[in-house]
Amino acid sequence: MSSFDWGDYHELAKELCNDKNGRILDAKQRSAVSRAYYAVFNLAIKNAVKNFDGFDEAYNELRNNAQVHELVIHWYESKDPNIG
């Protein structure tokens, strides 16, 4: 895992979302959604590596594959029946 602070990405998302000035409002909002998603996604990975036995091995196999998003969802759904 990277040492990047994904909470900073979340903070950037909030700043972009709250900035209503300028002609590129749509671009700011789209960027904010993307940044928020990736912040939460990567924090979910960090949490899963820490708390779910076997997740890190499964993650390492798919880390550079688009299916990694499905992997994260599946692991959380399998651990908490209220998700999904």
CA-based nearest residue to 1, from 66, 58, 63: 63
Q: Under a CB-based contact definition with an 8 Å cutoff, are residues 15 and 34 in contact?
A: no
Residue bearing the bigger pLDDT, 40 or 62: 40
Confidence check: pLDDT of 79 > 70: yes
Categorize the per-residue pLDDT at 13 as very low, low, confident or very high, splitting at 50, 70 and 90: very high
CA-based nearest residue to 28, from 17, 37, 12, 36: 17
pTM exceeds 0.85, yes or no: no
pLDDT value of position 64 = 85
CB-based burial, 17-52: b 16+ in 10 Å, e otherwise? eeeeeeeeeeebeeebeebbeebebbebbeebeeee
CA-based nearest residue to 50, from 11, 7, 84, 79: 79
Segment 12-22 mean pLDDT: 88
Categorize the per-residue pLDDT at 2 as very low, low, confident or very high, splitting at 50, 70 and 90: low
